[in-house]
Amino acid sequence: KHMRPASAEAITIAVANFKGGVTKTTTAVTLAQGLSLRGHNVLVIDTDPQGSMTTLFGVLPDVDVSDEQTILPLCFGSEISIDYAIQSTYWSGIDIVPANLALYSAEFALPSRQKEESSFEFWNVLTHGIDIARTKYDVIIIDTSPSLSYLTINSLLAADGLIMPLPPSTLDFTSSGQFWNLFNDLTTNLITNRGKTKSFDFVDVLLARVDSNDSSSSVVREWITAGYANMVLPVEIPKTSLTASASAEFGTVYDTDPSSINARTYRRAFDAYERVVELVEEQIQTAWNRQ
Ligand code: ADP
Ligand code: MG
């Protein structure tokens, strides 16, 4: 029932958090799969030079991806659009703009494009680059690297929605606060290509990899709920060894037939991701209606 109105463009979602290992990539891939299973045409863009999302979609960064097939030419070039870098994946309904290690050089290319002090154009390379994809896809999901890089800021500025996965361990909460402050500074100070101050259609904090056996996690969960209030999605992804090992074999909860798996935590992780996909889909619908 949630289908993109003919007049609406793709909703772009960045999955970000400056910290590594907080399930950004797992969230991005699972969300893409869940949304495609609901009939949406999805483009995923890997902006992490480590190429984890690329790998999870069965594309090997070192073998299958030339430097020209990433967003790198966008960072060096000027008026090109992302079409040139789009590949299909093994998952029907999901296309990818992959990444490989060469993407690191974007960190030098982007700031050197700043022609004058007041020009913020290099912040919006991705925003402009994906323009053409906005009419071809329903949803665009950007996976980001665990750093405050030019590419990550580009991703945030190109996004209509932000999802910040956050495992409830003390360290993750502390660094997410830093992410949040920087994020607010950046988005209130930078100007988008539309000449407006950046604002998001939705911002979601996703409690992820929650270990029900870890008593400290419930305390941190309360801090998170207090700190991020109604931004926190009313669902948590449980920690499950099966998700992690599936991940290592290039899979997610959607890659395995859940009925074939008996493990309770796996089943719960599957149900939780289904709920996340549902909630995000509703936010996408609202954003479409607003366009
Ligand atoms: P990031 O992209 O933020 O670095 P990843 O998505 O690569 O994070 O996840 C970090 C690790 O956590 C990976 O090994 C992944 O398989 C594992 N992981 C993700 N989700 C879960 C989960 N629900 N339970 C247990 N491990 C998980
Ligand atoms: Mg990652």
Span from the CA of 219 to the centroid of ligand 2 (angstroms)? 26
pLDDT at 123: 81
For every residue of 104-148, DSSP letters joined together read GGHHHHHHHT--STT--GGGGHHHHHTTTHHHH-SEEEEE--SS-
Q: Is 209 in the pocket of ligand 1 (CB under 6 A)?
A: yes
Span from the CA of 16 to the centroid of ligand 2 (angstroms)? 9
pLDDT at 18: 85
Q: Is 20 in the pocket of ligand 1 (CB under 6 A)?
A: yes
Does residue 171 register a pLDDT over 90?
A: no
The token duo for 214 is 């870890």
Q: Is 239 in the pocket of ligand 1 (CB under 6 A)?
A: yes
Q: What pTM was computed for the model? A: 0.94
Q: Which atom of ligand 1 is nearest to the CA of 165?
A: 3
pLDDT at 165: 95
Q: Give dist(CA 136, CA 157) in Å, integer.
A: 20
Residue whose CB lies within 8 A of the most ligand 1 atoms, among 44, 152, 247, for a mutation test: 247
CB atoms near residue 166 (< 10 Å): 27
Q: Is 23 in the pocket of ligand 1 (CB under 6 A)?
A: yes
Judge contact between 166 and 224, C-beta under 8 A. yes
User: What is the tens place of the pLDDT at every residue in 63-106?
Assistant: 999 988 999 999 987 567 899 999 999 999 999 999 999 999 99
Q: Give dist(CA 187, CA 156) in Å, integer.
A: 8
Ranges 10-14, 138-142, 223-227, 281-285: which has the least confidence: 223-227
Q: Which residue type occupies 36?
A: S
Nearest C-alpha to atom 13 of ligand 1 is from which residue? Answer: 244
Burial grade of 199 (CB within 10 A; 0-12, 13-18, 19 or more): exposed
Span from the CA of 52 to the centroid of ligand 2 (angstroms)? 6
Complex ipTM value: 0.99
Residue extents of the structural domains in the chain: 11-290
Q: Is 38 in the pocket of ligand 1 (CB under 6 A)?
A: no
Span from the CA of 102 to the centroid of ligand 1 (angstroms)? 24
Judge contact between 145 and 186, C-beta under 8 A. no
Q: Which atom of ligand 1 is nearest to the CA of 27?
A: 6
Q: Which atom of ligand 1 is nearest to the CA of 22?
A: 3
At 161 the three-state DSSP class reads: strand
Q: Is 26 in the pocket of ligand 1 (CB under 6 A)?
A: yes
Provide φ and ψ at 16, rounded to 5°: -145, 155
User: What is the tens place of the pLDDT at every residue in 173-215?
Assistant: 888 888 888 777 776 666 554 556 678 999 999 999 998 888 8
pLDDT at 195: 58
Q: Which of 59-63, 73-77, 104-108, 137-141 has the highest mean pLDDT?
A: 137-141
User: What is the tens place of the pLDDT at every residue in 211-250?
Assistant: 888 888 888 888 888 888 889 999 999 988 766 565 555 5
Band (pLDDT 50/70/90 cuts) for residue 259 is: low
Average pLDDT over the chain reads 87
Q: What is the CATH number of domain 11-290?
A: 3.40.50.300
Q: Greater confidence, 114 or 181?
A: 181
pLDDT at 267: 84
Q: Which atom of ligand 1 is nearest to the CA of 248?
A: 16
pLDDT at 118: 56
Q: Please state whether beta strands 42-46 and 139-143 pair in parallel, antiparallel, or not at all (unpaired).
A: parallel
Band (pLDDT 50/70/90 cuts) for residue 120 is: low
User: What is the tens place of the pLDDT at every residue in 17-26?
Assistant: 988 899 999 9
Band (pLDDT 50/70/90 cuts) for residue 273 is: very high
Which contiguous run of DSSP H or E holds residue 205? strand 202-210
pLDDT at 261: 60
Span from the CA of 23 to the centroid of ligand 1 (angstroms)? 4
Q: In percent, how much of the chain has pLDDT > 90?
A: 56
| Torsion of the alpha carbons at 97, 163, 29 and 46, rounded to the nearest 10 | 20
- Give residues whose Cβ lies within 5 Å of ion ligand 2: 24-25, 52
